[in-house]
Structures are given as structure tokens and as C-alpha cells.
Amino acid sequence: MERPAWAPRSIDISVPSVSRIYDFYLGGSHNFEVDREAARRAMEFMPGLPKIMQANRAFMRRAVRFAAGEGIDQFLDIGSGIPTFGNVHEVAGRSRPGARVVYVDHDPVAVAHSEAVLAGHDDADVVAGDLLKPREILASPQVERLLDLNRPVALLLVAILHFVEDEDDPYAAVAELSDALAPGSLLVLTHASYEGIPLPAERAGGAVDVYKDIRNPLIMRSREDIARFFKGYDMVEPGLVPMPRWRPEGEPEEEDPYAFSGFAGVGRTA
């Protein structure tokens, strides 16, 4: 297999990566055949997976514009993945010039790409970090340089928590990050769930099994379990809802049925 110039030497290009599979669903070009193969296998069970990812990105952009409209000019995006069109720093920068963004990902490909995309951007940077090690993220030179944690920050956890198993206690990691945020900060979150998928759970489970096979288990949580991540936050209207129903710009009824899979919400610290 030919190694493209953009692939860091340190990564094994024979193993699928969640962030490259996501890139493939979004129509990106930074993925390998092994990623496309895994994505196609998952799509045999859930053909609407690309629609779900597009709904995630569209929600993220609306939430970033909302945060900027609320006066927030600092963004911490954990599990940011491979930069694609309409990334946080672009959306935030258009709404609030001078907005500062720190991306965090543990995939070396995502980090390498982010570094390339952000070269020459003084207001944005990337950290190679793990959601389960919040202290390391918060103490990173990039966060210390760009974010003032004494002022409100928008913390983005978009399509990442469903890759953290219960035994790794994602709730504790989110609580630790939340505790570091100033009053008036926002938590922006999406999460996969069997609720809302226009398929029987057994069939959707086939796609979940593909992720298990590539050693990136996809944890489907109930709306109630997802709501627990917002402990200590006041929910912003309309609360925890299917992605197209969170402050839509068009008619949600015109969206693809798959876009309603899972939940999205924004909470504000008191």
C-alpha cells in the first residue's frame, strides 16, 4: 500500500481509523482503502451513516454560531477529527473575528492534518490529546497560550463520547473538564443512540459491530444516559433533541430520516 505524502510515518495505514472513516462519510479525501472498506461494511447495515455525520457537522456549525452570538470567543474542540470545510475556526472567525480555537484529537492523522491546515493561523492550534486525560489537555501549551479559562469557553464534544466505554468513565472526564470552565461556558455535545434511527435496533447493531471489529466500539446510549453528561448545566432551548431539531435554519421535516439518529444539546454553566 502506497503511503500518501500527508500520512505521518508513525501511523499504521493498514488499520482503520474512526476519524478517517468520518472523513470518508463527509466526502473528504484523507482516508485509505481500509477506512473506506470499514465504512462501506457499516453502511450495508445503516446506509444513512453519511447523513448522520452531515447532520452532526451542520449542528456543530449552528452551535458555534450560537456560542459566538452569545459573546463567546474561545472554543475547545475535543475529538475534532480531520479538518474539513466549515471547521470551528472558520465558522467562529466569521461570526466573531479574533475567536480562538484549540482542537484536540488522539489520532496522529487528524493532528498532522490540523497542523497543516492551521499553519499561519495565530488564533487556532491543535493538541495531540486524549479526552480521558483532561488535565493534560488543560495544561497543554496550546490551551495555555490561546484560552483564558477565567472567561467563558465553548467546549465541543461532538460525536466523540460514543467512542468511550462506560468502564473508562466518560462522565468523570466531562465533569473534570466542566469544572475547569468559567461560569457562562457552554457544553456542545452530540451522541449516537438507537433512538431515532429509522431501522430496527438489530439491523443498526450490525453497523455497531463493524466498529467493534475495528477495535473502536461504538457505544449507543439512551437519551437519559446522554442527558447525564449535562449535570451541572442549564440546558439551552430546545434542550436535548435530535440534531436537525436544535435551532434549525430550515424545515427539519425536509431532512433525511437518518439525520434524526441520536441527540444533540447545548448546556450553559451557571
Q: What is the CATH number of the domain that holds 158?
A: 3.40.50.150
Residue 3 belongs to a domain? no
Region of 157 please: left (phi>0), alpha (psi -120 to 50) or beta: beta
Residue 10 belongs to a domain? no
Residues 6+ apart with CB under 8 A from 30: 6, 20, 23, 82, 109, 113
Residue 2 belongs to a domain? no
Residue 82 belongs to a domain? yes
Give the C-alpha distances (Å, rounded to integers) separating 133 from 54, 78, 175, 188.
Answer: 28, 11, 12, 19
Residue 1 belongs to a domain? no
Q: What pLDDT shows up at residue 116?
A: 84
The 10s digit of each residue's pLDDT in 56-75 is 999 999 999 999 999 999 99
Number of neighbours of residue 61 by Cβ within 10 angstroms: 18
- The whole-number average pLDDT for the span 223-228 is 98
Q: What pLDDT shows up at residue 13?
A: 78
Residues belonging to the chain? 270
Domain span at 210: 18-269
Q: What pLDDT shows up at residue 117?
A: 85
Per-residue pLDDT band for 1 (boundaries 50, 70, 90) equals low
Residue 130 belongs to a domain? yes
Residue 5 belongs to a domain? no
pLDDT above 90 for 145: yes
Residue 6 belongs to a domain? no
Q: What pLDDT shows up at residue 108?
A: 86
Q: Looking at the 3D structure of the chain, how many domains does it have?
A: 1
Q: What's the pTM value of the predicted model, to 2 decimals?
A: 0.94
